[in-house]
Amino acid sequence: MPTPAGASPRILKVEQHGVEPIPATERTATAFDLFRLIFGGANTFVTVILGSVPILFGLSFIDALWVTITGVMLGALVVAPMALFGPVTGSNNAVSSSGHFGAHGRIIGSCLALLVAVAFYSISVWTSGDVILGAAHQFFAVPSNPWTLGAAYGILAVLMLVVCIYGFRFMLWVNKVAIVGATIMFLAGILAFADKFDFGYAGAFGINGLMSTDPAFWAAAIGAGLVVMSNPVSFATFLGDWTRYIPKETPRKKLMSAVVLANIATLLPFIFGLATTSIIASAAPSFFEAGDYVGGLLSVSPLWYCVPISILAVIGGMSTGTGLLYGTGLDFASIVPRLSRVQSTILIGAASLAFILFGKFVLNVVQSISTFAILIVTCTAPWMVIMIVGFVKRKGWYDQDDLQVFNRRVKGGIYWFNDGWNWRAVAVWALASATGLVFVNVPGQFVGWLSPLVAGVDISIPVAAGLAAVLYMAVLARFPEPSFVYGAGIPLPAADPVPAPASVPSSLQAPGTPPDFTTSNTRIKQKAAQ
């Protein structure tokens, strides 16, 4: 029985939609739902681990606090416009990127989303599994070995996969529960650690502040701030997965406010990470020096807090992992149209679980995958900037049909550019990403060859993002895009190339069946005649 117009589908009804535009009657999500998905996905131990970084870098608690707040706010403001694409195009951000990178160039966004998702999904499962088994071992004498650890990883991964198979509505419900549950568990930490916390923790550099002239302090502060900033930026490729279910008429300020407020709310797990890491540094220095946050947390926790920690690991891992796996399954189905969203999700989920187990117990790439995540986020930043600049230049206008050219396996349309690639955006992204990578500095893992020029400070993300903004605007000014990509109200000059009709390759047509597509050049000519 179809869902009545305006009614919300049942949460246990398997979602059938792929990346085709969501019908207006089914766009019943709200900006508050977006807030829940972002906050729920980040109100987890993965964010806590990121929150430990400023203290691990040697900052005092006070300095680490303002560095964290700055990083979160900057990241939130930068990523907020990425929530605007979904309601306009009715699809995810990778598909929407066809409007700027070209019908084939959108594969860049899909690859970035896939790599970011696998990296952070793996980190989420590893972290949650380690916490659950660590608590069970320390407080209940459950054996800790590869078999029990692998079982913990497997159970978590399967639970996440089940949620993603059901789809958006079930995932939204999980995040509603996760927000409340995780927040209560974090707040319970105030009682658990109040007697051990020292607000005046000095770290390796002492309490400095904005007026400090110590270059070593600023290197640590900037590096820590960028690590924190990477958390909101990592959502750039996934926001469209959720906002496509929000009505097109929703005010843009409301959408961006939801993104910013959700990231401000993530200061809760960030500060939990800061506070507990400072306690570990004083009360369990061996864990601090080894960089073992999970082991240190369990060693300084009171016995009663093992239950909240375990609950937090489960619900936090579920909310983070489901958001990542859902988006990846959705986008992979658009790359391989023969697979449905459900089939694609199962395939990606199974492959990710295999990587999680193989990477942990055979390749031992847990530390390397964290570095890999930083490299991918560095490449995501210029892609995001190009999308935002393009959205502003186009005044938010996109042709929904022509954005779907790639996954429909047709050719042509107003976003065909040069054989499906818009060299302007692709070239700027490649150059900005490469430049950002040579400034990455992850000691012992990856050090870009230009990093020593800035005293080892990791400025990769601001360099990549800033360069992309400047170059892309310069390229658009010097080599303007065809006027037909700007939509209604803009006439089509005679000198402009008329976009090729969107047509189905003969190999994909049923015998004797002509393609049934409204061609883009017809629509453009109609607009020009108005």
Burial per residue of 464-484, b for 16 or more beta-carbon CB atoms within 10 angstroms, e otherwise: bbbbbbebbbebbeeeebbeb
Interior angle at CA 422, CA 421 and CA 423, nearest 5? 100
| C-beta separation of 137 from 130 below 8 A | no
Q: Where in the sequence is the domain holding 318, given as residue range(s)?
A: 24-481
Domain assignment present for residue 396? The answer is yes
Residue 282 CA to residue 158 CA, distance in Å, equals: 38
Domain assignment present for residue 28? The answer is yes
Give me the CATH number covering residue 291: 1.10.4160.10
Evaluate the CA torsion angle 190, 125, 368, 361 in order and state its sign: positive
Spatial CA neighbour of 99 closest among 513, 480, 481: 481
Q: Tell me, what's the pLDDT at 320? A: 84
Place of tokens 């869902």: 3
Name the domain count of the chain. Answer: 1
Residue 195 CA to residue 275 CA, distance in Å, equals: 12
**Which amino acid is residue 480, in one-letter code?**
P
Domain assignment present for residue 277? The answer is yes
Residue 405 CA to residue 413 CA, distance in Å, equals: 7
Domain assignment present for residue 487? The answer is no
pLDDT tens per residue, range 2-53: 444 444 557 778 888 888 899 999 899 999 999 999 999 898 888 999 999 9
- For residue 503, the 8-state DSSP code is B
Domain assignment present for residue 348? The answer is yes
Residue 99 CA to residue 485 CA, distance in Å, equals: 8
Spatial CA neighbour of 519 closest among 399, 423, 367: 399
φ and ψ at 503, to 5 degrees? Answer: -135, 150
**Which amino acid is residue 407, in one-letter code?**
N
| C-beta separation of 26 from 245 below 8 A | yes
Q: Tell me, what's the pLDDT at 492? A: 43
Q: Tell me, what's the pLDDT at 148? A: 92
Q: Which residues in the chain land under pLDDT 70?
A: 1-9, 488-530
- For residue 418, the 8-state DSSP code is B
For residue 14, the surrounding DSSP H or E stretch is none
Burial per residue of 302-322, b for 16 or more beta-carbon CB atoms within 10 angstroms, e otherwise: eeebbebbbbbbbbbbbbbbb
Domain assignment present for residue 224? The answer is yes
CA-to-CA separations, 104 to 20, 171, 406, 499, in angstroms, rounded: 16, 30, 6, 15
Domain assignment present for residue 293? The answer is yes
Residue 429 CA to residue 105 CA, distance in Å, equals: 11
Residue 465 CA to residue 21 CA, distance in Å, equals: 29
Residue 228 CA to residue 271 CA, distance in Å, equals: 11
Domain assignment present for residue 361? The answer is yes
Burial per residue of 5-17, b for 16 or more beta-carbon CB atoms within 10 angstroms, e otherwise: eeeebebeeebeb
**Which amino acid is residue 500, in one-letter code?**
A
Q: Which tokens hold the place of 5?
A: 């117009």
